Structure 1
Amino acid sequence: MIANHRTLTRELDAVLFQVIKASLSGIVQEMQNSLFRTGFSTIIRESQDASCAIMNAGGDVVAQHVVLPLHIGCFPACCNAVMKAYGGSIREGDAFLINHPYEGGSPHAPDIAVITPIFAEQELVGFCGSIAHKSDIGGPVPGSCSGQAKEIFNEGLHLPAVRYQQGFVTNEEVEKIIASNSRTPELVLGDIRGQLGADRLGENRLKNLIVKYGKDAVLACYSQLMDVAENRVRQAISQWRDGTYTAERFVDDDGIELNKPVRIFVTVEKKGEMLHIDFTESADQTKGPANIRFPLVQAACAYCLISLIDPQMYVCSGLFRTFDLAVRDGSVLSPRFPAPVNTYNPTVHAVIDALFDALSHIVPDKVRADGCGSRSIVIGGRNTHTGKSYVQYEIVGGGTGARSNKDGLSGSTNNQGNARIAPVEIIESEFPTRILRMELIKDSGGAGRYQGGLGICREYVNLKDARFSLRSAKHNIPANGMHGGLPGRTGA
């Protein structure tokens, strides 16, 4: 089948290829708009901590509208887990759930993937998928992101690939299990159903596309998209200087060993049109939840290449063909089960900052300093009006690093942390809290010819007793400056 697709790729009309390509992008965008408009939680509806994609029958991403760059690595791993578990029993009308970081590819357990198969002429031609953060799926703290977790069993409910719908009929037992493990069951189930609706929308749109242009043409476009993305990146890499360079960054700590920074070390070798990226000298896996799984490392590498080459680049799994990636089993970037993983974002920031540092020697005109780290706050308690449990999950940005020819951005999210900061009015209307101020912090960006962006101060008053959790970084180790620029201010 693959050989046939490659034959069709060479014969596919150039105009038709562009039409189908644009249609795939439009379908994913429509899926994503549907998901954000139907989201029950502020996490999805306001912060847009979710993304959608179309995969081919092998699970490779053929179209993704990038909100969260890491999901380009997560979707294939989740699809592969579904195919491994259900194989030839996958049928039209099925839907699958998975959030297990080790059996699938979710960054952490709150990120639940909904995967649905797409059939044309009784043939499996791909999958629609969505991954979205859930307000709470159990565990010892509201929001399910305990900074003191020592194994993933402290991080809430974990689902391997499970069949959520069969013949378009929902398995209510699965919903009951999820609901009984969440402090906010209505929100969690509402968001999952919204994801399912977005997937079904994508299925219908893709089927219509196949009817319009033919199955062979669409499948040929899948294959050609991979080749075009690969060739685009290889051509750019071939223009870069050859050489081998190293860089390192540190995460403040893992949440358990508080005085022990976590080292991320990378060696990048560029030769011809290929990159070899080696993280094997990074720290051992941590006791606390600073570990990340291989799909996230892979996605971080792809994100860096997109940023350096063309931020408007079409995103698909073909990008993975342009670099070799090495990680060490048992390290912080390839932990062994059941090592905890829920505070993955600070580690991914360190991976990306180290990569950009090493690549700055290869592409010197694209140099950039480090920006803010991850800032997620979780406040949980009882709602003033309803008496029900609530989980107030917020993403708070900071400043991005200065670039080679301009200042960094102030009050923004950085790197892979591309979700939005929830509006003050929404937070105050939905949760028992008041925000007294939200302002930029003067002189918080690193000084230099071009300055780093400014961080954010956000001050709260809780109107009810609540529990507070923080997923954050760069409180002890500041964002690095580049070429003599000063570091940024640490967080607090």
Structure 2
Amino acid sequence: MNEWILSQVVGGTLDSVAEEMSAAVTRTARSPIFNEAHDFTTGIFDFSEGSSRLVAQAPGCTLHLYAIVSAVDQLMETFKNDLHPGDILLVNDPYHGGSHSLDWTIVMPVFHGRRPILLPSVRSHMGDNGGPVAGGYNPRSRDIWHDGLRIPPLKLYERGEKRLDVFEMILGNNRLKHWLEGDLDAMIGACKMAAERIDQLLERYGAPSVVQAIDQRIRYTETRVREEIASWPDGVYTAETYADHDFQGNRDIKVRATVTVKGSDLEIDFTGSSPQAAGFINSPLSNTTSFAFVAVSTCCDESIPINEGYMNPVKVTAPLGTVVNPRLPAPCGHATACVGAEIAEAVLLAISQCAPERAGVNAHKLPLAYSNGTYADGRPWVNLNFYGYTGGAGGAFQTDGWGLYPPVMTGVILPSIEMNELQYPSRVLKHEYVPDFTGPGQYRGAPGLEVKIQHLEKSYTSVMMAGVRNTTRGLAGGGDAPSNLVILDDRRTEPLEVRETAFHVGLEPGGIITFHRAGGGGWGDPYARDPERVLEDVRNGLVTASAAETEYGVVIEEESGSLRVNERLTEQLRSQSNIR
């Protein structure tokens, strides 16, 4: 078979296997975080040459895109001289290739002859990971142990035998044992299923041909990515952005990215970022690298296969002891949102200086608020209140912000309200777009939302705000997003407006959490927006006529019961503006 055709066949097969793994986890997992929200990622790695290389990945939680790479590297480095058929490996430690300790990675080496050759893997956000607070997000965390249970590289299965002592230790340190056990089984089952498919692939084409095809596919991706980078002007481009605070009273935590384009090579240097923080926003190197690569990948053609070839042209530098590469034991529990959002944003702001039409707004500044309580039978529950995080996707060249989740979470699925209300003692009272609640631009951000979630039983909620003072930035002259806000109302006392953080606030039955989730930043000069598109937004209730005039320079008037653009006044207003 032709080498190119074989690479497509093998690559497509492995992509399909990764997607089948994803479907298997969704259909067999126990927690709503898996089977409803889809907060996990599946992938396959090559190990034919004694080091791991990403080969295929199913659409999943995008922020896992490359974080899973570091975790697999750490697992294989730890056990490379002690691997046997039937071994299944696990890690969650941020200082061993993890991101935050809620994300667990499982790997099952598939052997050919006496050598491991391919590695199916699953990385998933778990509902709990022990530690001081239910759900794992602890805004009072001061070190890595406050974040929850650290699991260094270990074996869950050894030579096909389940290590019951390890399983019981893990389950005994988790509040949601009734979820965790089923979720681990789902992850393991997906890897076993993938192993069967991989065996069939190796039997059909032979290991040498499969490895050769993988090499070809990785080279193809690298060539495509290098072609993209080479189309950007050589130069050094610097940008910086800020996280509001570290939840310990320290404000305006800086992330600085210097992007150097030299031919088809790209270097991303985070020198100049703030020292590591007291609070739990520190981003371990694997998380920082992942968000940097996510930013780069959003600037490239989506038809490029996701594999190791994406990483080869890019070098990431992050000084040790900074918020983007902390020293142990700095806490990291919130790193996948803050400062992960700022890492991607700084990289995209820098790239927008040399390739503005390729950079879109990566709006991930989440107003994170999660709740916990107990069911009538005494079992605990943790609800991440996913509906409150929707919104925030920014505009990009030739497209408005789209969808409900920001780009780094586009593989996550919004759970159905009906299933949510069956699985939790809660009601979703409101989930609606709000007018004038996004960044204006030639291409505006996705609309912001107001969300109201009511818990019917006694519950406790912790809130971690972001994007209040340092909101999501616009690109290429686009406007920044407005501020997020969360309100806790137990309907008995004065509602609590949370601008920074709230810890374990008790809400009586019937208490309501209100999210004002800002939309994304805009792209391009708002006065360059097509007036007819502004009119359409006004008709759809996304922009008011007043904002159309002040933000876009478009005069909307009513005539014979319908809205229309007053072209003469619009042209006059826009011609008088210095923004044009």
Q: Same fold (TM over 0.5)?
A: yes
Structure 1 residue 469: Cα displacement: 2.1
Q: Given the alignment of the two structures, is residue 321 of structure 1 paired with residue 312 of structure 2, yes or no?
A: yes
Residue number in structure 2 paired with 1:93: 86
Higher RCO by CA contacts (8 Å cutoff, separation 6 or greater): 1
Residue number in structure 1 paired with 2:3: 13
Structure 1 residue 161: Cα displacement: 1.1
Q: Given the alignment of the two structures, is residue 148 of structure 1 paired with residue 140 of structure 2, yes or no?
A: yes
Deviations 1:373-398 (A, max 9, x none): 22443211111x32211111233221
Query: Equivalent of 2:289, from 285, 292, 298?
Result: 298
Q: How does 1:88-487 map to 2 (within 5 A)?
A: 88-103=81-96, 105-258=97-250, 260-344=251-335, 345-369=337-361, 371-383=363-375, 385-395=376-386, 396-409=389-402, 411-416=404-409, 418-487=411-480
SS in structure 2 of the partner of residue 415 of structure 1 = helix
Amino acid corresponding to residue 302 of structure 2 in structure 1? P
SS in structure 1 of the partner of residue 43 of structure 2 = strand
Residue number in structure 2 paired with 1:4: none
Counterpart contact for 2:298–2:359, Cα < 8 Å: no
SS in structure 2 of the partner of residue 346 of structure 1 = coil
SS in structure 2 of the partner of residue 119 of structure 1 = strand
Counterpart contact for 1:254–1:287, Cα < 8 Å: yes
Query: Equivalent of 2:21, from 20, 31, 40?
Result: 31
* CA distance in structure 2 between the aligned counterparts of 1:23 and 1:275, rounded to whole angstroms: 30
User: Could you tell which deviates more after superposition, 343-352 or 77-86?
Assistant: 77-86
Counterpart contact for 1:164–1:170, Cα < 8 Å: yes
Runs (5+) with no aligned partner, structure 2: 486-580
User: Could you tell which deviates more after superposition, 138-147 or 444-453?
Assistant: 444-453
Amino acid corresponding to residue 23 of structure 2 in structure 1? N
Counterpart contact for 1:394–1:422, Cα < 8 Å: no
Structure 1 residue 369: Cα displacement: 4.0
Structure 1 residue 86: Cα displacement: 2.5
Q: How high is the sequence identity, in percent, across the aligned residues? A: 25
* CA distance in structure 1 between the aligned counterparts of 2:359 and 2:407, rounded to whole angstroms: 15
Deviations 1:101-137 (A, max 9, x none): 102x221111111111110122211211101111112
Amino acid corresponding to residue 53 of structure 1 in structure 2? G
Structure 1 residue 352: Cα displacement: 1.1
* CA distance in structure 1 between the aligned counterparts of 2:338 and 2:390, rounded to whole angstroms: 13
Structure 1 residue 305: Cα displacement: 2.5
SS in structure 2 of the partner of residue 246 of structure 1 = strand
SS in structure 2 of the partner of residue 89 of structure 1 = coil
User: Could you tell which deviates more after superposition, 458-467 or 131-140?
Assistant: 458-467
Residue number in structure 1 paired with 2:562: none
* CA distance in structure 1 between the aligned counterparts of 2:381 and 2:240, rounded to whole angstroms: 39
Structure 1 residue 476: Cα displacement: 2.2
Structure 1 residue 167: Cα displacement: 2.7
Change in Cα spacing, 1:122 to 1:12, as seen in structure 2 (3 Å) is farther
Change in Cα spacing, 1:367 to 1:119, as seen in structure 2 (3 Å) is closer
Counterpart contact for 1:69–1:299, Cα < 8 Å: no
Counterpart contact for 1:62–1:222, Cα < 8 Å: yes
C-alpha RMSD of the superposition: 1.7
Q: Given the alignment of the two structures, is residue 81 of structure 1 paired with residue 74 of structure 2, yes or no?
A: yes
* CA distance in structure 1 between the aligned counterparts of 2:218 and 2:118, rounded to whole angstroms: 15
Structure 1 residue 423: Cα displacement: 2.1
* CA distance in structure 2 between the aligned counterparts of 1:233 and 1:243, rounded to whole angstroms: 18
Structure 1 residue 418: Cα displacement: 4.0
Structure 1 residue 353: Cα displacement: 1.2
Change in Cα spacing, 1:482 to 1:82, as seen in structure 2 (3 Å) is closer
Structure 1 residue 416: Cα displacement: 4.6
Runs (5+) with no aligned partner, structure 1: 1-10
Query: Equivalent of 2:54, from 40, 44, 61?
Result: 61
User: Could you tell which deviates more after superposition, 299-308 or 34-43?
Assistant: 299-308
> What TM-score comes out, normalization by structure 2 length?
0.80
Counterpart contact for 2:241–2:345, Cα < 8 Å: yes
* CA distance in structure 2 between the aligned counterparts of 1:416 and 1:244, rounded to whole angstroms: 29
Amino acid corresponding to residue 326 of structure 1 in structure 2? T
Counterpart contact for 2:122–2:191, Cα < 8 Å: yes
> What TM-score comes out, normalization by structure 1 length?
0.93
* CA distance in structure 2 between the aligned counterparts of 1:245 and 1:416, rounded to whole angstroms: 26
